[in-house]
């Protein structure tokens, strides 16, 4: 039986076990997927112990994605760009390899599930933290016209933009915000406190603007509520991204591709 899991703190809320069990059933594999609450200063110790127990690998969630980055001896291109690792695999020769499937998962959800087009489009991203760093590289592969990064702290947006070579990624202040973006993606951690949007001008949303929140929630997130009230044509949360990033992780471990739509629908309904 394949042993895998998710490292986090907190981790109790994680929906990854049910997602991976659904994938495993789909391809006829038996897996044990554990939720592992990792003490804040014990990432390496916990990772060593889990892999020594025979685990093939594991997912990593908040706040350990940069610990995971440092733990790996080899990393995928996406992980290098993101500066963070969310999926680890122990290869047959013992090498610990780190991947980042967050950006791939977001793009797959946007393109494949939502059927939004990013090529040539004007994208605005809100926030400049780890979550945003993890998605920019993958968004760029879709060749948008530009990606504007708007953050409460402009210097952080500037530092983030400097880590990408593309001239199409720009840090902007409030005066630089344009009207009617094609796509606005919220990647701030403010969503749960309910005050997102308060200082955003409504003109950034036009009648064909699509809004995406990396956070998922049973009700409309504060950002999506604001976007909807401002006239956005479609508002989507990050549940699809969660399932799509998991599908990439599952493929890394098993070499098997899964169908995600029914898993996303099942999670939405439950
Ligand atoms: P994560 O790993 O989830 O991205 P992070 O690296 O701590 O978390 O980044 C959080 C992001 O949310 C930052 O861009 C932060 O803005 P600052 O750089 O100004 O701190 C943003 N954020 C958090 N709370 C916010 C709020 N109340 N309003 C606007 N932005 C907020």
Comparing 192 with 154, which gets the higher pLDDT?
A: 154
Nearest to 66 by CA among 82, 49, 53: 82
Comparing 199 with 112, which gets the higher pLDDT?
A: 112
Cα distances from 2 to residues 20, 22, 197, 254, in angstroms, run 11, 14, 44, 9
Predicted confidence at residue 199, as pLDDT, reads 79
Give the homologous superfamily in CATH for domain 103-239: NAD(P)-binding Rossmann-like Domain (3.40.50.720)
**Does ligand 1 lie within 6 Å of residue 129's CB atom?**
yes
**Does ligand 1 lie within 6 Å of residue 86's CB atom?**
no
Give the 3-state secondary structure of residue 211.
strand
Other beta carbons less than 10 A from residue 74's beta carbon:
12
pLDDT band at 32 (very low <50, low <70, confident <90, very high): very high
Atom of ligand 1 nearest to the CA of 189: 12
Average pLDDT score over the chain: 95
Contact predicate 212/131, CB 8 Å: no
- Checking if the pLDDT of 73 tops 70, the result is yes
Helix (H) or strand (E) holding 256: none
* Ligand 1 pocket mutation, candidates 188, 190, 198, 223, criterion most atoms within 8 A of CB: 188
For residue range 207-233, list pLDDT tens digits in order. Answer: 999 999 999 988 999 999 999 999 999
Q: What is the mean pLDDT of residues 23-27?
A: 98
**Fold matches, 2-100 and 103-239:** yes
CATH number belonging to domain 2-100: 3.40.50.10860
Distance (angstroms) between ligand 1 centre and the Cα of 8 equals: 19
pLDDT band at 195 (very low <50, low <70, confident <90, very high): low
Domain spans, the chain: 2-100, 103-239
Atom of ligand 1 nearest to the CA of 127: 14
Nearest to 58 by CA among 36, 75, 41: 36
Pairing of strands 234-236, 87-90: unpaired
Predicted confidence at residue 189, as pLDDT, reads 85
- Distance from chain centroid for Cα 113: 15
Q: What is the mean pLDDT of residues 33-55?
A: 98
For residue range 101-144, list pLDDT tens digits in order. Answer: 999 999 999 999 999 999 999 999 999 999 999 999 999 999 99
Distance (angstroms) between ligand 1 centre and the Cα of 251 equals: 31
Residue owning the nearest CA to atom 12 of ligand 1: 188
Residue owning the nearest CA to atom 8 of ligand 1: 129
**Rounded (to 5) percent helix, strand, coil in the chain:** 40, 20, 40
Q: pTM for this one?
A: 0.95
Q: What is the mean pLDDT of residues 47-64?
A: 97
Residue owning the nearest CA to atom 28 of ligand 1: 190
Q: What is the mean pLDDT of residues 13-36?
A: 97
**Does ligand 1 lie within 6 Å of residue 153's CB atom?**
yes
Contacts 24+ apart (CB under 8 A), 140-144: 140/164, 140/166, 140/168, 140/169, 141/107, 142/107, 142/111, 142/118, 143/118, 143/119, 144/118, 144/119, 144/120, 144/168, 144/183
Predicted confidence at residue 190, as pLDDT, reads 79
By annotation, the residues acting in catalysis are: 65
């Amino acid at each position: 039986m394949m042993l895998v899991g998710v490292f986090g703190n907190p981790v109790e809320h994680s929906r990854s076990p049910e997602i991976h069990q659904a994938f495993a059933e789909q391809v006829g594999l038996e897996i044990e997927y554990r939720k592992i609450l990792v003490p804040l200063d014990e990432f390496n110790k916990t990772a060593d112990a889990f892999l020594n127990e025979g685990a093939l690998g594991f997912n990593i969630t908040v706040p350990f994605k940069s610990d995971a980055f440092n733990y790996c001896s080899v990393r995928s291109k996406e992980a290098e760009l993101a500066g963070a690792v969310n999926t680890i695999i122990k290869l047959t020769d013992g090498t610990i390899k780190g991947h980042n499937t967050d950006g791939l998962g977001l793009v797959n959800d946007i393109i494949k599930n939502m059927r939004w087009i990013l090529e040539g489009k004007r994208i605005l991203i809100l926030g400049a933290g780890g979550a945003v760093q993890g998605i920019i590289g993958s968004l760029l592969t879709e060749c948008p016209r530009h990606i504007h990064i708007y953050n409460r702290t402009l210097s952080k947006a500037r530092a983030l933009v400097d880590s990408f070579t593309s001239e199409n990624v720009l840090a902007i202040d409030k005066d630089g915000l344009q009207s009617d973006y094609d796509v606005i993606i919220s990647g701030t951690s403010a969503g749960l406190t309910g005050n997102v949007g308060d200082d955003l001008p409504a003109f950034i949303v036009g009648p064909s603007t699509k809004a995406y929140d990396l956070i998922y929630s049973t009700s409309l997130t504060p950002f999506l509520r604001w976007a909807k009230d401002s006239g956005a044509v479609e508002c989507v949360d990050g549940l699809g991204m969660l399932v799509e990033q998991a599908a990439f992780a599952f493929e890394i471990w098993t070499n098997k591709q899964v169908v995600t739509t029914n898993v996303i629908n099942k999670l939405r309904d439950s």
